Amino acid sequence: MRVVAKIGTASITDDSGQISGPAIAKLADEVAALRADGHEVIVVSSGAVATGIAALGMPARPTDMRTLQAVSAVGQARLVERYRIEFERHGITCAQLLVDPFDFVERSQYLHLRSTIERLLELGVVPIVNENDAIANDELRYGDNDRIAALLANSAGADVLVLLTDMDGVYTADPRTTPDAELIPLVRSDDPLLAITAGSGGSGRGSGGMASKLTAARMASWSGVRSVIGRAAREGILAGAVSDDLVGTTFEPHARALSARRLWIAFAAEVHGKVVVDDGARRALVQGRKSLLPAGVMRTEGGFGVGDVVDIVTSDGRTFARGRASVHAHQLVAAIGRRTADLPDDVNDEVVHRDDLVVFDDV
């Protein structure tokens, strides 16, 4: 099997923000055990910012992006060094791989990323992946690695995604405030928890936590990948997840898989506005799998640009699709309701191309 294991900051650092050697050693031990059984493992690791803050002796987390990016650069070097030390105990070489959202959206970048991962695995290397916080544009970053891990599971053709956290899994309520909350051991593919809805998209700068892990689990499921949310400190958590032993909360995969591009649009991209359409346009999108044309648009909301993700909404306010805009909002306003032959020369004849469209009613 090919496994993507994502571990969060809280699981690999102590209360002071220092790297927890024992926590990373445990992860390395479990990865080594999986490899000994013939499995391939990709690790997605957070913790660079917290590690950098501790290394620089800062009293609190910086609030400005410039300092956060510098801190991340300091912490990333220390974090990967700790992984190198722990994996070398098992005779395993690891590699640092820093990614950003466009690596999963732009086809050339996507293919390069997939090729690099394949070659690293062929060489017997364990890739250690993190978002490239040090140089990421604040407008084009996720801010948590859960969605990165889910997109990576898709692009790498993983069989299982394991999201390691400081909780045993997903509960019926917050167990920290509700003593009788119960662990949910299994979420089936038709469960509402896995539905793609208008609320599934991210803000583009998520903060981690259980909400982002649920989003990642949805993404994995719609990639055809089984996922598990479980406690990082649990002994044998990775082996149990691979064996499908219900060691946390397991999310079944859907039979139908979305591409990485559509996963990004549906779940991970920041939504910049809305395009309200008439019933004819809705039918063309849902039933005909057509592109959205200006003739079916009633009005727009928000100042989106070309390439921005927008919600596509019915006249009564229900979001039923999401896609990447092919026109600027101000250009579309001038073209609303017009037939293609009547459009100004500077306006694209498609508002959203069908290849950049996810229809919630149809998946």
Q: Is 210 assigned to a binding site?
A: yes
How far does Cα 169 stand from its chain's mean position?
A: 18
**How far apart are alpha carbons 241 and 260 in whole angstroms?**
23
Pairing of strands 94-99, 126-131: parallel
Q: Is 223 assigned to a binding site?
A: no
Q: Is 319 assigned to a binding site?
A: no
Q: Is 207 assigned to a binding site?
A: yes
CA angle 39/255/361 to nearest 5° reads 135
How far does Cα 361 stand from its chain's mean position?
A: 22
**How far apart are alpha carbons 318 and 344 in whole angstroms?**
30
Q: Is 165 assigned to a binding site?
A: yes
Q: Is 209 assigned to a binding site?
A: yes
- Cβ(299)–Cβ(273) under 8 Å? no
Structure tokens at 173: 């309520």
**How far apart are alpha carbons 81 and 241 in whole angstroms?**
27
Residue 110 exposure: Cα atoms within 13 Å on the Cβ side:
16
Q: How many CB atoms lie within 10 A of CB 98?
A: 18
Q: Is 58 assigned to a binding site?
A: no
Q: Is 244 assigned to a binding site?
A: no
Q: Is 26 assigned to a binding site?
A: no
Q: Is 6 assigned to a binding site?
A: yes
Q: Is 133 assigned to a binding site?
A: yes
Binding residues, as ranges, are 6, 46, 133, 145, 165-166, 207-213
Annotated binding site for substrate: 46, 133, 145
Binding residues for ATP: 6, 165-166, 207-213
